[in-house]
Amino acid sequence: MTPGKLIRIIFSFFVIGMIVLFAMRLNAGLWTPLNWGMMMIPAIVCMLVFSCFVYIFNFSYSLAAIGNGILIFSVLPSVASGILCGAIVIYGLRLFYFTWVRRSSESYASHVTQNQAEDQEFPVGVKIALWAQCTLLYTFQCFAIYVVASKVDVTVSALMGASIILLGTLVEGKADSQKQAFKNREPDNFITTGLFARCRHPNYSGEILAQLGLIIAGVGAVTNGWANYAAVVIAPLYIVLLMISEAWTKDSMQLKTYGEQENYRTYLRRSGSLLPGF
Q: Model confidence over 118-177: pLDDT tens digits?
A: 999 899 999 999 999 999 999 999 999 999 999 888 999 999 999 999 999 999 999 999
Categorize the per-residue pLDDT at 180 as very low, low, confident or very high, splitting at 50, 70 and 90: very high
| Of the candidates 243, 242, 224, 227, the residue with the CA atom closest to the CA atom of residue 19 | 227
- Angstrom CA distances, 22 to 30, 59, 138, stand at 9, 24, 13
The percent of residues above 90 in pLDDT, for the chain, comes to 84
> What does DSSP assign to residue 273?
S
- For 43-95, write each residue's pLDDT tens digit: 999 999 999 999 999 999 999 999 999 999 999 999 999 999 999 999 999 99
**Rounded-to-integer distance, Cα 138 and Cα 42, Å:** 6
Task: Return all residues near 36 (Cβ < 8 A) that are at least 6 apart.
Answer: none
Task: Return all residues near 179 (Cβ < 8 A) that are at least 6 apart.
Answer: 191, 196, 203
Residue 3 reports pLDDT greater than 90: no
Compute the average pLDDT of residues 260-277.
94
| Of the candidates 222, 235, 86, the residue with the CA atom closest to the CA atom of residue 163 | 86
Check if the beta carbon of residue 220 is closer than 8 Å to that of residue 125. Answer: no
Give CA torsion, residues 236, 238, 243, 244, to 10 deg.
Answer: 120
- For 194-212, write each residue's pLDDT tens digit: 999 999 999 999 999 999 9
Alpha-helical (H) ranges within 142-225 are 143-151, 156-185, 202-221
Compute the average pLDDT of residues 172-186.
94
What HEC string does 112-161 produce? Answer: HHHHHHHHHCCCHHHHHHHHHHHHHHHHHHCHHHHHHHHHCCCCHHHHHH
What is the model's pTM?
A: 0.94
**Rounded-to-integer distance, Cα 65 and Cα 101, Å:** 19
- Residue 143 carries which side chain, given as an amino acid letter? F
**Rounded-to-integer distance, Cα 72 and Cα 69, Å:** 5
Residue 1 reports pLDDT greater than 70: no
Positive/negative CA dihedral, 178, 182, 183, 189: negative
- For 206-247, write each residue's pLDDT tens digit: 999 999 999 999 999 998 899 999 999 999 999 999 999 999
Task: Return all residues near 261 (Cβ < 8 A) that are at least 6 apart.
Answer: none
Position 111 scores a pLDDT of 85
Which is more confident, 184 or 66?
66
Categorize the per-residue pLDDT at 5 as very low, low, confident or very high, splitting at 50, 70 and 90: confident
**Rounded-to-integer distance, Cα 17 and Cα 236, Å:** 13
**Rounded-to-integer distance, Cα 208 and Cα 212, Å:** 6
Categorize the per-residue pLDDT at 109 as very low, low, confident or very high, splitting at 50, 70 and 90: confident
The percent of residues above 70 in pLDDT, for the chain, comes to 99
DSSP SS3 for 57: helix
Compute the average pLDDT of residues 5-25.
92
Categorize the per-residue pLDDT at 110 as very low, low, confident or very high, splitting at 50, 70 and 90: confident
Average per-residue pLDDT in the chain? 94
